[in-house]
Structure 1
């Protein structure tokens, strides 16, 4: 449990270099317990590298990552997951030949255990938890269908259900709405907005409509470094963001009224 004083997630002077190329440059940020933080920036800004460093799939060149006050810098991604740091990726990772319920059971069985007898039915608590996860993402009525029959947006919903199945404390989403239709994106925004505040959310996203709909705070990256961080209104109004990140105030204004960063 959180001690009530430590942030859910803290990144301190995090750096990742590849020879002379610095992909993430001395990044420091905090995500408060229950907060929704969006990280935005153009292609090449270092967002996905930062995501991988926080998730534990990449080792930093320097700096530290802590989870509810615990230093997890040296822990691998699966070890961080056991502590409640759960991630989804840009590309779908569901089992298409399995039903939605069976997909989510792979997650919930990690928490509630498998059947007591080999080849027996799944643990009742695991099944109940899987159905709750599907209900949370709006797929309860599709529990028995094969994941391969889902639309792109529905697969992303299923991935969130998989993440919810392990009771995350911090949920990390990497470009979750990429490739979605407008209707799918709207449903996904509603899904994220409806998550309980016991779950902290870190989202990397290009779509500014999504960002300004779900985020409490926004961090802007450019060339591997953080150039601004604040509330959505503060980021919208930031002259530094307007000049340095997008290069022109009208362009930024147009995008914040509804658009996508490419």
Structure 2
């Protein structure tokens, strides 16, 4: 396998579109998600359409040692990862003190722990080969506190900070790290997070346009990409001058 891209959360949404884009560039893939049947359908479609090799790994990344198991399986088959797409993640609406701890713990494990572990497992090989690119799917949620999604917004703040810090550490190594920061995207995320009926998702972007912008930014070695211009203006020029309580009340209303 050549120019291998490992994509988590590849069975739907942004991850599925990233897989399609990678395959369109005649680059091979390792696709990871819990739903094996969806992964196998994607594998067959990509291999037939683009003549690439696609390996399927059905894995629940919230489970301990899941990242290590992926790495060991690829090592046994002599597969090097040149592109790492940490895309898997989920959110959930509700008051923090009323939400189930099991769900919140799983969110932290997937959005933070798994992403960090996979970077730690695959970056050394990239650095050794002086070649590699990482795209961590974050969110514009990472730039502000998020009442009614307190833990999700906090996990994405971690992803933003972590991605930029290790990108700085890797300068000159031949390896880059990019944070993909979309706003609302029309994926299964909205249903999972119980947000599909809120104003936040009224004008959601498409998974394809979001993936295209993220992939292009990754190839260019950018630190981050905020995929919607209006959101970029708001985040960079509006939020810093908005009183925090006012900003949090706006976020709360959009998710109510």
The TM-score normalised by the length of structure 1 is 0.26
- Per residue, is there more strand in 1 or in 2? 1
Greater relative CO, 1 or 2 (CA 8 Å, sep 6+) = 1
TM-score, normalised via structure 2 length: 0.26
Higher helix share: 2
Larger Rg: 1
